[in-house]
Amino acid sequence: MTQSRKNDIPDKPLTSVMEDYLEAIAILDEERKVVRVKDIAKKLGVKMPSVTSMLKTLSLRGLINYQKYEYVELTKKGADIGKNMRRKHRVIRAFLTDFLRVDFETADDEACQMEHALSSSTLDSLTDFMEFIQTCPRAGQTWLDYFAEYQRTGRRQEHCTECVELFSCGLNRRLDS
């Protein structure tokens, strides 16, 4: 490969598959002392030649250190991307399981797909929203339970009216004090 071609590669955006590899390597790196090609293949459910091919690409982009028959090591840049992908995955999965009450396996699969499209600023907003729901006195677990009830039974006007009245009474008491 010519030097100019090699220099062009890092400027191209990462694909979702590349991000999946970096995330998998980051996970394996935390679990083990060394990361091997066969570990990555097993984690991602792909064949070892596919892993080797991707590792060459990631190495050319400066995201990993890899030589044939050697262990795989993330560079600082690769580790940052891998950790960011793990964070996105965990936040999205938590939102799906804890807030929308999607079963874990479905949430995990869908988080893997969604994490590639979510920007860092949107992830930060989602995280803020989740924290707000968990800490706001008008929301919290009760609010999530009402949402689960809504999902189960559909919109029931009497529940909405009760909530509005409770909120209104609480607001009036605070304004009167």
Q: What is the pLDDT of residues 41-53, one digit of tens each?
A: 999 999 999 999 9
Does the pTM exceed 0.85? no
Enter the tokens of residue 71: 């262990």
pLDDT in tens, 65-122: 998 888 999 999 999 999 999 999 999 999 999 989 999 999 999 999 999 999 999 9
Residue type, 36: R
The span from the CA of 140 to the CA of 133, in Å, is 5
Would you say 47 and 41 are in contact if contact means Cβ atoms under 8 Å apart? Answer: yes
Residue type, 59: S
Residue that is written with structure tokens 């596919």 in the block: 50
Question: Among 106, 75, 109, 103, which residue's Cα sits nearest to residue 89?
Answer: 109
For the chain, percent of residues with pLDDT exceeding 90:
58
The span from the CA of 138 to the CA of 171, in Å, is 10
Question: Among 84, 79, 111, 83, which residue's Cα sits nearest to residue 95?
Answer: 111
Residue 106's SS3 state is helix
Alpha helices in the chain (DSSP H): 3-8, 16-31, 37-44, 48-60, 76-94, 104-114, 120-135, 140-153, 157-176
- pLDDT of 149: 79
Would you say 127 and 137 are in contact if contact means Cβ atoms under 8 Å apart? Answer: no
Task: Name the helix (H) or strand (E) containing 46.
Answer: none
Give the sign of the dihedral formed by CA 162, CA 168, CA 174, CA 177: negative
Question: What number is the average pLDDT over the span 55-71?
Answer: 93
The span from the CA of 33 to the CA of 35, in Å, is 7
